[in-house]
C-alpha cells in the first residue's frame, strides 16, 4: 500500500486542488485558493516523512540485506489495468529506486519552499504535486506499460510549469522540451514493444505481458542478437535524450534557462535521473550482452558529454545556462561510470545520480534567487554581492564547491569512485576526465569569484543595471530554508555517504556479476 | 409473404426509429389548420396539412426536439444491443445481417450523430421569438434578425439531413451485399455533401460544398464502375460469395484486381487517404465544425468499414500476401506524412484537425497493410482489426470532442483562425482543459486513449512482421536487412506522431499563452458543456483502467465477428 500511497496521493491532491475551485462557489473557491500552497506543502512534507521513515526504520518491512538487484521490496501487485494486453498495477522498490524516491519526495517540498510566492500559486504548487506523483511512479512501477505512462505523464506538468511561469522565451523552450523528449520516448516505446512481443503469457488476448520482471528476465527469448542490439539502441535513444547526453542535449539549456526556479530544480534534480534510471533498469539489466558490446559507444558518449559540457560552460555568460551545461557534463560521468565495468564505477554512477540530485537543485535555487533579487543572470554584471546578500553568497559557495567536487561534500564521493574505477579499467586515459574536472573548477571558481567577491569597493557591490535603483537585499526566509535543507544534505551525504552507498554498492556488484558473465562469453577482458 | 415473416424486424429498431423520425420531421412542422371545403356544401373537413400552423408546429425548436428524442431512443436500443449482443444478432432479410461488429459500428455512428445534433442546437440556434427587421433597427441588429429568421427556416432541412446520414451509415455496416452497402454509403454521403455546403451564404461554405460534392461523386462513380466489373466477373455481389470465389482463384484475374483498385479509389476518398484527400481540408474548413466532426469520425469510420470489407474480407488470399499490400503500404506512408506536414503550416484550426484526420487515416491504412502482408494467422489479423476498430471508436471521443469545442467558438467568434482560440484558458478554463486533453490524445500522449489505440496498431504491425527478421543475425544491419519491409511502417507511425506533436502543442499552447482582447465568458448550453466534460473524462478512461478493458473486450469480439472467427 505504501508505494501506492506515495504515487496516488500527490496526483490526487494536485488534480483536486486545481479542479475544485472551478466546481465550488466563488467564496469557497477563493478560500481554497488561498490555502492551496499550504496544503500542497503539507502533502509534500507528509510524503517526505513517509519515504524517510521507510528509509531509516523498518516501516513496511524492508529487508535491508536483500534489497539489491531483483529483490524488490514493498511489492504490490494484483490489480489488472488492461488485462487483455497484459498490463497491471505492480510496484516495488530496490536499491536502484529507493534513493531516487527519497530524493524526489525531498526535492518537491524544498522546491515549493524556494518558490513559495510564485504568482498563481493555486496552480503552481498543485502542478508540482502532480509532477511528484508521476516521477515517483516512474521509479517504482514494475510494469513497462505503466512505466511508459508515468514517463510521459511527467512531461505535461513540466510543460505547463515552463509555459506559464517561465522566462521570456518560454514558449519556444516549452515546445522544444516537450517535442524532444516525447519524440525520443516514442522511439523507446518501439523498443519496449519489441521486448513485449517476445514475452509469453497465457492469460492475455495478445499472448504477451508488460510485466517488467518477466520481460527483463526473458530477453533471451529474443532470438536474434542483432535485434537485441537494435532494441538496446532504441532504448538508449529514449534514455539518453532524457539524461541528456550529447548530441541530444540541446533541449536542456533552453528548458533550464526559461523554466521557473522550482521547475529547473526538479528538472535537474529528478527528471534527468529518470533517464539514467531507465537505462540501468531496463537497457543494462535486460540486455547485458548488448551493453558489453556497446561499451565503446557509452565511453564515447560519456566522454564527449563530459568534455563538451565543461568546455561550453567556460564560455557561458548566463549563470543558469552555465549550470545547465554543467549538468550535461556531470551526466557524462554517469555513462563513464557504467562503461568502466567495475562495481565501484557503477556504484559511483549511482551515487552521482543521487548526489547531483541534491547539488544541482541547490545551484538552480541560487541562480533563481539571483534572478529574483537582482533581476539578471549575467555573470559579471553584478560583482561583490556578498556584501549585500551574505546568505545567498554562502549557499552559492557551498553549492559551487560541492559541484566541482570538493572533498567532504556529496559530489566528491561519486567523482572519486568513478575516476578510480576508470583508472582501474583504462589506465592513464583517466587523465582526460580528470583534466575536465580542472576545467570545471575553472568555470565554477571564476563565476563565483566574479559574482560574490570581486568588487573595487569593499563596502558596496557593483549592482547590475537591471536593479534600477532598487535596494539590494538578501534572500527571503523561505528561500533560505529550502537552500539550507539542500546544503545540509550535501554535507551529510558528503561525510556519511554510506547511508545509501552500501545498497548501491550491493546493487552494482550484482549487476556486475551478470555483465562479467557476458564479457567472459564474449572474451572481452575487463 | 412467408419470407417476409422470417425477417426479424426487431433487430433494426434503431433504423426504423430514425426512419420514423425522418417521416415525422417531414410531416409535423407542416401541420396546420387547413380545411377542405366539400364542394357545394359549407362543411369544412380538416386536412391538417398546410394553412396556419398550430402553436407546436410553428415552434422552430420542434425539429431539434424530434431528432434529439429519436436519436436518443435509437442510441438507447443500440446500447441495449451492445450490452447484450446475444439477443440482438441475426440475419434481417437477405442483405442485412446484425452481428457484434455492426452493433459496435452503429453505436459509433449513432453517438456521433447524437452529439452533433446536440451541438447543432448551439451552432444553428432556433429562436422562437424571432421577428422580421424593422426600419428602426441598426444595420447590425437587422443582420442578426435576418440570420435568426434564416436559421429558423432551415432547421428542418438540417435535421432531416443529419438523420439521413445516420440511417445510411447504420444500415451500411449491416449490409452483406456490396450493392446494398454502396447504396447506403451513398445515402449517407449525399446527405453529408449537402451538410458540408449548408452554410451556402458564405463564400467558403459554398465552395466547400461544391468541391466536396464534385470530388466525392467522381470517386463514387469510379467505385461503382469497379463494382460493376466485379459483378461481371463473379455474377454475385454477396460478400461471402465473393470471398469464396476469390479464394478459389488460382492465378490473379485482372478483372477483379482492377475493380478492387477502383473501389479503393472510392473508399480512399471517404477515409481521406492521399492522393484523394485534397478536397478534405477545404470541406472541413468550409463546413460548420460539427459537420466537420461528423466527417472526421463517422464518415471516416464508414469508409474504413467499406474498405476493410473489400480488402480484408474479399480480396485477401488464404495464403501469402495480398496484391494490394504494397499499394496500401505506400499510400499509408504518403498519407500520414503529407497530412502531418501540411498541418504544420496551417493556421486554421479546422484545417489542422482535417489534416490530422488525414494523418490518422494513414496510421490505420498502415495497419491494414500489415494484414495484407499475409504473414500472420487469423488471430494476428484479429489483433490488427481490433486496433483499427478501437481507434475508430475512441476517435469519436476525442476528435469529435475537439470539433465540438471549435463549434462553440465558431458561432459569433472566429474559429477560422488560430486567434479564435486565444486566451481560451482564461475565458473558459473547463473548455480549454478539455481541448488540451483532446489534443494530447490526438497526438498519442499517454495516458489518454489515443495512445492506447496507436499502441495497439504498432503492436499489430510488429506482431505480424517481427518474426521475419533473421534469427541468426548477430549484428544490427544483418537483422535490418532480413526483416520484412512492413516493419518500418511501425517506425513511420512513431516518427509521424512525433512530428504531429508540433501542431497539436501549438494549438494547445495558444489557448493558455496568448492574450485576447475579447475576454468575455463564452455562453453555451449546459448540455453541451456536460457532454464535452464527459468526452474529456472518457478520453482518459478509455486509455487505461477497467473501462478501457471493457471496451477492448467488446471491440475484440466485434473484430472476431467481422473476420468470422468463432470465439
Q: Residues of A with CB below 8 A from B471's CB? A: 223-224
- CB B430 to CB A155 under 8 A? no
Number of domains, chain B: 2
Alpha-carbon span B253 to B235, nearest angstrom = 15
Assigned domain for B344 exists: no
- B63 and B165 housed in the same domain: yes
Assigned domain for B1 exists: yes
B462: nearest CB among A155, A193, A226: A193
A61 confidence band (pLDDT: 50, 70, 90)? low
Q: At what angle do helices A155-165 and A144-153 cross, to 10 degrees?
A: 0
| Residue with the larger pLDDT of the pair A454 and A107 | A107
- B184 and B98 housed in the same domain: no
Four-residue CA torsion sign, B244, B245, B250, B251: negative
- CB A164 to CB B512 under 8 A? yes
Q: DSSP letters along B21-83, please?
A: HHHHHHHGGGBB--EEEPTTS--EEE--BSSSBPHHHH-TTHHHHHHHHHHHHHHHHHHHHHH
- CB B476 to CB A175 under 8 A? no
- B90 and B211 housed in the same domain: no
Q: Element (H or E) spanning A76, and its range?
A: strand A73-82
Residue B274 DSSP class: T
Assigned domain for B398 exists: no
Rg value, chain B, Cα:
25
Q: What pLDDT digit, counting tens, does each position of A340-395 carry?
A: 888 899 999 999 999 999 999 999 999 999 888 888 888 878 888 888 888 988 99
Domain stops at, among B126, B152, B174: B174
Phi first, then psi: give them for residue B520, nearest 5 degrees. Answer: -75, 150
- B159 and B187 housed in the same domain: no
Task: Give me the helices (H) in A88-224, please.
Answer: 98-114, 121-140, 144-153, 155-165, 170-197, 212-217
Q: How far B413 CA lies from chain A's nearest CA (Å)?
A: 24
Alpha-carbon span A349 to A332, nearest angstrom = 10
Q: Residues of B with CB below 8 A from A85's CB? A: 456, 459, 552
Assigned domain for B165 exists: yes
Domain range annotation of chain A: 295-526
C-alpha angle B430-B432-B438 in degrees, rounded to nearest 5: 105
Q: Count Cβ atoms within 10 A of the Cβ of residue A473 and give its class: 0-12 exposed, 13-18 middle, 19 or more buried.
A: exposed
The span from the first CA to the last CA of chain B, in angstroms, equals 35
Q: Element (H or E) spanning A89, and its range?
A: strand A87-93
| Range B250-273 burial, b when 16+ CB lie within 10 A, else e | eeeeeebbebbbbbbbbbbbbbbb
Contact predicate A370/A388, CB 8 Å: no
Q: DSSP letters along B204-250, please?
A: HHHHHHHHHHHHHHHHHHHHHHHHHHHHHHHS--BHHHHHHHHHH-S
Q: What local confidence, expressed as pLDDT, does residue B567 receive?
A: 56
pLDDT over 70 at A405, yes or no: yes
For B567, nearest residue in chain A (alpha carbons): A205
For B445, nearest residue in chain A (alpha carbons): A152
- CB A187 to CB B494 under 8 A? yes
B446: nearest CB among A83, A149, A160: A149
Alpha-carbon span A361 to A107, nearest angstrom = 8
Q: What local confidence, expressed as pLDDT, does residue B344 receive?
A: 87
What residues have CB less than 8 Å from B34, skipping those under 6 apart? B46, B47, B48, B49, B50, B51
- CB A85 to CB B479 under 8 A? no
Domain stops at, among B315, B334, B363: B315
- CB A206 to CB B446 under 8 A? no
What residues have CB less than 8 Å from A444, skipping those under 6 apart? A326, A400, A401, A403, A404
Q: What pLDDT digit, counting tens, does each position of B298-350 carry?
A: 999 999 999 999 898 888 887 778 888 899 999 999 999 999 999 988 888 88
CA-based nearest residue to B449, from B512, B509, B400? B400
- B102 and B119 housed in the same domain: yes
- CB B455 to CB A225 under 8 A? no
Q: What local confidence, expressed as pLDDT, does residue B2 receive?
A: 46
For A151, nearest residue in chain B (alpha carbons): B446
Contact predicate B507/B421, CB 8 Å: yes
Alpha-carbon span B284 to B349, nearest angstrom = 10
To probe the interface with A, which of B486, B498, B500 has the most A CB atoms within 10 Å?
B498
Pair type for strands A87-93 and A73-82 = antiparallel
Q: What local confidence, expressed as pLDDT, does residue B355 receive?
A: 92
Task: For A487-521, give the secondary structure using H, E and C.
Answer: HHHHHHHHHCCHHHHHHHHHHHHHHHHHHHHHHHH
CA-based nearest residue to B404, from B438, B370, B371, B381? B438
pLDDT over 50 at A248, yes or no: yes
- CB A84 to CB B430 under 8 A? no
Q: How many CB pairs under 8 A join A and B?
A: 120
Residue A269 DSSP class: I
Can you name the residues that pair with B98 across neighbouring β-strands?
B90
A108 confidence band (pLDDT: 50, 70, 90)? very high
Q: What local confidence, expressed as pLDDT, does residue B6 receive?
A: 63
Domain stops at, among B139, B174, B209: B174
Residue A84 DSSP class: G
What residues have CB less than 8 Å from B147, skipping those under 6 apart? none
To probe the interface with A, which of B447, B495, B511 has the most A CB atoms within 10 Å?
B447
Assigned domain for B440 exists: no
Q: Residues of A with CB below 8 A from B447's CB? A: 149, 152-153
Three-class SS state of B419: helix
- CB B479 to CB A224 under 8 A? yes
Q: What local confidence, expressed as pLDDT, does residue B1 receive?
A: 41
Q: Which residues of chain B have pLDDT under 70?
A: 1-7, 412-416, 566-567
What residues have CB less than 8 Å from B178, skipping those under 6 apart? B227, B230, B237, B238, B239, B242, B309, B310
| Range A114-123 burial, b when 16+ CB lie within 10 A, else e | bbbebeebbb
Can you name the residues that pair with B96 across neighbouring β-strands?
B92, B175
Q: DSSP letters along B78-130, please?
A: HHHHHH-GGGS-EEETTTEEE-HHHHHHHHHHHHHHHHHHHHHHHHS---TT-
Assigned domain for B566 exists: no
To probe the interface with B, which of A89, A167, A186 has the most B CB atoms within 10 Å?
A186
Alpha-carbon span A339 to A187, nearest angstrom = 23
Alpha-carbon span B524 to A337, nearest angstrom = 60
Q: How far B29 CA lies from chain A's nearest CA (Å)?
A: 40
- B196 and B255 housed in the same domain: yes
CA-based nearest residue to B162, from B191, B121, B182? B191
Q: What local confidence, expressed as pLDDT, does residue B32 receive?
A: 85
Q: DSSP letters along A457-496, please?
A: STTS-B--GGGTTPPP-PPPHHHHHHHHHHHHHHHHHHH-
Q: What local confidence, expressed as pLDDT, does residue A243 receive?
A: 87
Contact predicate A298/A339, CB 8 Å: yes
Contact predicate A105/A51, CB 8 Å: yes
Q: What local confidence, expressed as pLDDT, does residue A385 receive?
A: 82
Task: For B313-348, give the secondary structure using H, E and C.
Answer: HHCCCCCCCCCCHHHHHHHHHHHHHHHHHHHHCCCC
- B306 and B211 housed in the same domain: yes
A225: nearest CB among B452, B459, B473: B473
For A81, nearest residue in chain B (alpha carbons): B545
Inter-CA distances, A343 with A98, A217, A329, A498, B294, Å: 19, 21, 22, 15, 61
Contact predicate B187/B199, CB 8 Å: no
Assigned domain for B49 exists: yes
- CB A226 to CB B475 under 8 A? yes
Determine what percent of chain B is predicted with pLDDT higher than 70: 97
- B269 and B125 housed in the same domain: no
| Range A87-112 burial, b when 16+ CB lie within 10 A, else e | bbbbbbbbbbbbbbbbbbbbbbbbbb
Inter-CA distances, A360 with A136, A317, B437, Å: 19, 18, 33
For B553, nearest residue in chain A (alpha carbons): A84
Alpha-carbon span B504 to B500, nearest angstrom = 7
| Residue with the larger pLDDT of the pair A420 and B133 | A420
Inter-CA distances, A443 with A204, A355, B530, Å: 56, 20, 57
Give the domain range for residue B182.
177-315
Alpha-carbon span A103 to A48, nearest angstrom = 9
For A19, nearest residue in chain B (alpha carbons): B430
B512: nearest CB among A163, A175, A190: A163
Q: Residues of A with CB below 8 A from B506's CB? A: 175
Amino acid at each position: 500500500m505504501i508505494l501506492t500511497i506515495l504515487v496516488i496521493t500527490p496526483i490526487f491532491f494536485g488534480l483536486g486542488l486545481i479542479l475544485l475551485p472551478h466546481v465550488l462557489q466563488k467564496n469557497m473557491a477563493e478560500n481554497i485558493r488561498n490555502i492551496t500552497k499550504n496544503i500542497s506543502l503539507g502533502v509534500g512534507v507528509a510524503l517526505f516523512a513517509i519515504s524517510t521513515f521507510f528509509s531509516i526504520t523498518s516501516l513496511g518491512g524492508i529487508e535491508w540485506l536483500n534489497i539489491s538487484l531483483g529483490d524488490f521490496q514493498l511489492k504490490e501487485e494484483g490489480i489488472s489495468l488492461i488485462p487483455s494486453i497484459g498490463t497491471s498495477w505492480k510496484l516495488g522498490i530496490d536499491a536502484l529506486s529507493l534513493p531516487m524516491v527519497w530524493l524526489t519526495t525531498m526535492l518537491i517540498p524544498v522546491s515549493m519552499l524556494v518558490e513559495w510566492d510564485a504568482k498563481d500559486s493555486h496552480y503552481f504548487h498543485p502542478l508540482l504535486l502532480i509532477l511528484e506523483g508521476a516521477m515517483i511512479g516512474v521509479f517504482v512501477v514494475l510494469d513497462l506499460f505503466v512505466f511508459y505512462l508515468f514517463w510521459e505523464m511527467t512531461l505535461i506538468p513540466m510543460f505547463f510549469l515552463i509555459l506559464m511561469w517561465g522566462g521570456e522565451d518560454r514558449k519556444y523552450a516549452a515546445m522544444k522540451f516537450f517535442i524532444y523528449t516525447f519524440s525520443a520516448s516514442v522511439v523507446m516505446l518501439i523498443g519496449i514493444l519489441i521486448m513485449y512481443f517476445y514475452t509469453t503469457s497465457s492469460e492475455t488476448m495478445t499472448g504477451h505481458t508488460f510485466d517488467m520482471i518477466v520481460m527483463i528476465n526473458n530477453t533471451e527469448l529474443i532470438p536474434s542478437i542483432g535485434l537485441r542490439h537494435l532494441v538496446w539502441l532504441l532504448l538508449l535513444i529514449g534514455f539518453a535524450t532524457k539524461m541528456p547526453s550529447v548530441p541530444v542535449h540541446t533541449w536542456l539549456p533552453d528548458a533550464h534557462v526559461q523554466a521557473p526556479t522550482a521547475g529547473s530544480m526538479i528538472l535537474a534534480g529528478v527528471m534527468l535521473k529518470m533517464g539514467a534510471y531507465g537505462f540501468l533498469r531496463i537497457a543494462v539489466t535486460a540486455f547485458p550482452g548488448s551493453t558489453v558490446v556497446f561499451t565503446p559507444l557509452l565511453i564515447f558518449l560519456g566522454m564527449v558529454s563530459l568534455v563538451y559540457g565543461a568546455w561550453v560552460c567556460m564560455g557561458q555568460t548566463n549563470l543558469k545556462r552555465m549550470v545547465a551545461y554543467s549538468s550535461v557534463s556531470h551526466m557524462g560521468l554517469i555513462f563513464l561510470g557504467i562503461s568502466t565495468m567495475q562495481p565501484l564505477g557503477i556504484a559511483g554512477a549511482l551515487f552521482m545520480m543521487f548526489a547531483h540530485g541534491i547539488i544541482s537543485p541547490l545551484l538552480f535555487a541560487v541562480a533563481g534567487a539571483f534572478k529574483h533579487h537582482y533581476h539578471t543572470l549575467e555573470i559579471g554584471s553584478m560583482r561583490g554581492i556578498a556584501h549585500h546578500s551574505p546568505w545567498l553568497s554562502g549557499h552559492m559557495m557551498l553549492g559551487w564547491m560541492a559541484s566541482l567536487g570538493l572533498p567532504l561534500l556529496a559530489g566528491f564521493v561519486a567523482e572519486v569512485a568513478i575516476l578510480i574505477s576508470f583508472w582501474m579499467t583504462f589506465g592513464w586515459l583517466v587523465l582526460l576526465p580528470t583534466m575536465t574536472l580542472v576545467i570545471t573548477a575553472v568555470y565554477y571558481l571564476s563565476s563565483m569569484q566574479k559574482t560574490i567577491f570581486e568588487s573595487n569597493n569593499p563596502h558596496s557591490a557593483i549592482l547590475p543595471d537591471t536593479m534600477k535603483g532598487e535596494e539590494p537585499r538578501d534572500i527571503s526566509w523561505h528561500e533560505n530554508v529550502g537552500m539550507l535543507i539542500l546544503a545540509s544534505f550535501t554535507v551529510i551525504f558528503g561525510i556519511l555517504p554510506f547511508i545509501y552507498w552500501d545498497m548501491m554498492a550491493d546493487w552494482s556488484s550484482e549487476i556486475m556479476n551478470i555483465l562479467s558473465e557476458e564479457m567472459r562469453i564474449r572474451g572481452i577482458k575487463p | 409473404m412467408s419470407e417476409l415473416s422470417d425477417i426479424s424486424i426487431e433487430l433494426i429498431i434503431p433504423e426504423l426509429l430514425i426512419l420514423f423520425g425522418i417521416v415525422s420531421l417531414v410531416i409535423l412542422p407542416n401541420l396546420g389548420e387547413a380545411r377542405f371545403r366539400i364542394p357545394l356544401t359549407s362543411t369544412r373537413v380538416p386536412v391538417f396539412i398546410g394553412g396556419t400552423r398550430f402553436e407546436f408546429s410553428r415552434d422552430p425548436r420542434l425539429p431539434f426536439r424530434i431528432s434529439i428524442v429519436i436519436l436518443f431512443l435509437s442510441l438507447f436500443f443500440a446500447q441495449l444491443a451492445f450490452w447484450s449482443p446475444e439477443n440482438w444478432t441475426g440475419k434481417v432479410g437477405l442483405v442485412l445481417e446484425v452481428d457484434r461488429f455492426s452493433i459496435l459500428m452503429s453505436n459509433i455512428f449513432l453517438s456521433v450523430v447524437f452529439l452533433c445534433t446536440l451541438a447543432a442546437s448551439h451552432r444553428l440556434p432556433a429562436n422562437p421569438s424571432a421577428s422580421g427587421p424593422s426600419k428602426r433597427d441598426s444595420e447590425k441588429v437587422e443582420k442578426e434578425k435576418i440570420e435568426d429568421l434564416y436559421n429558423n427556416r432551415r432547421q428542418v432541412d438540417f435535421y432531416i439531413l443529419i438523420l439521413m446520414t445516420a440511417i445510411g451509415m447504420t444500415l451500411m455496416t449491416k449490409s452483406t451485399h456490396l450493392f446494398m452497402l454502396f447504396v447506403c454509403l451513398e445515402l449517407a454521403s449525399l446527405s453529408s455533401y449537402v451538410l458540408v455546403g449548408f452554410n451556402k451564404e458564405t463564400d467558403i461554405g459554398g465552395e466547400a460544398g461544391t468541391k466536396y460534392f464534385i470530388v466525392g461523386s467522381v470517386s463514387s462513380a469510379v467505385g461503382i464502375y469497379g463494382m460493376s466489373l466485379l459483378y461481371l466477373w463473379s455474377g454475385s455481389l454477396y460478400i461471402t460469395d465473393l470471398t469464396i470465389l476469390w479464394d478459389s482463384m488460382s492465378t490473379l484475374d485482372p478483372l477483379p484486381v482492377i475493380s478492387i483498385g477502383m473501389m479503393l479509389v472510392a473508399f480512399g476518398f471517404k477515409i481521406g487517404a492521399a492522393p484523394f484527400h485534397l478536397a478534405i481540408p477545404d470541406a472541413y474548413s468550409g463546413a460548420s465544425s460539427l459537420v466537420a466532426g461528423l466527417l472526421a469520425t463517422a464518415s471516416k469510420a464508414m469508409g474504413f468499414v467499406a474498405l476493410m470489407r473489400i480488402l480484408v474480407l474479399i480480396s485477401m488470399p488464404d495464403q501469402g500476401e495480398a496484391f494490394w499490400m504494397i499499394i496500401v503500404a505506400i499510400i499509408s506512408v504518403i498519407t500520414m506524412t503529407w497530412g502531418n506536414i501540411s498541418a504544420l503550416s496551417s493556421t486554421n484550426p479546422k484545417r489542422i484537425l482535417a489534416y490530422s484526420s488525414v494523418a490518422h487515416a494513414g496510421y490505420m491504412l498502415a495497419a491494414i497493410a500489415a494484414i495484407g502482408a499475409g504473414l500472420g494467422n487469423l488471430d494476428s489479423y484479429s489483433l490488427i482489426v481490433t486496433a483499427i476498430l478501437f481507434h475508430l471508436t475512441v476517435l469519436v471521443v476525442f476528435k469529435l470532442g475537439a470539433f465540438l469545442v471549435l463549434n462553440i467558438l465558431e458561432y459569433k467568434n472566429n474559429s477560422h483562425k488560430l486567434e479564435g482560440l486565444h486566451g481560451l484558458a482564461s475565458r473558459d478554463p473547463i473548455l480549454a482543459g478539455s481541448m488540451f486533453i483532446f489534443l494530447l490524445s490526438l497526438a498519442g500522449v499517454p495516458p489518454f486513449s489515443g495512445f492506447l489505440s496507436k499502441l495497439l496498431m504498432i503492436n499489430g504491425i510488429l506482431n505480424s512482421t517481427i518474426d521475419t527478421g533473421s534469427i541468426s543475425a548477430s549484428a544490427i544491419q544483418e537483422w535490418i536487412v532480413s526483416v520484412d519491409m512492413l516493419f518500418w511502417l511501425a517506425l513511420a507511425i512513431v516518427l509521424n506522431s512525433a512530428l504531429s506533436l508540433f501542431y497539436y502543442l501549438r494549438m494547445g499552447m495558444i489557448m493558455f499563452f496568448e492574450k485576447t482582447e475579447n475576454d468575455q465568458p463564452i455562453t453555451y448550453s449546459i448540455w453541451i458543456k456536460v457532454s464535452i466534460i464527459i468526452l474529456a473524462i472518457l478520453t482518459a478512461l478509455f486509455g487505461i483502467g477497467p473501462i478501457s478493458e471493457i471496451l477492448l473486450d467488446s471491440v475484440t469480439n466485434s473484430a472476431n465477428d467481422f473476420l468470422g472467427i468463432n470465439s
